[in-house]
Amino acid sequence: MALGLFSKKDINQGVQEWKATRGAILLDVRSREEYRERHIEGSVNLPLNELEQVSKTIPDKSTPIFVHCLSGGRSANAEHFLKKAGYQTVKNIGGISSYQGKTI
């Protein structure tokens, strides 16, 4: 249904899924400056404008990827790009702005 396209992503649930998924990567596609200010421990920063270099960071296309940004817009673009690039398990979990857990 089209309604699923507009459902609010829950980053808190997404981070729990990431932690429970063996070998998964939590990919933060915000800018390097945003990442330095605040990020989820264990996440990997690869800004959206550098995403074409993802194969250097994540060479195995079967690696589960949980992608987020500030509000969910950039991560939606990243999810689309990664799937088109052949990554098999990619999930947009939304934006860190609504994250309730600890950040560093």
**Which residue, 51, 49, 99, 48, is CA-closest to 71?**
99
Dihedrals φ, ψ of 40, to 5°?
-85, 130
Q: How many CB atoms lie within 10 A of CB 5?
A: 7
Catalytic residue among 25, 26, 69, 82: 69
The answer to whether residue 15 is catalytic is: no
Residue 29 to residues 3, 65, 72: CA-CA distances in angstroms? 25, 12, 10
Q: By the 8 A CB rule, do 75 and 67 touch?
A: yes
The residues annotated with a catalytic role in the active site are: 69
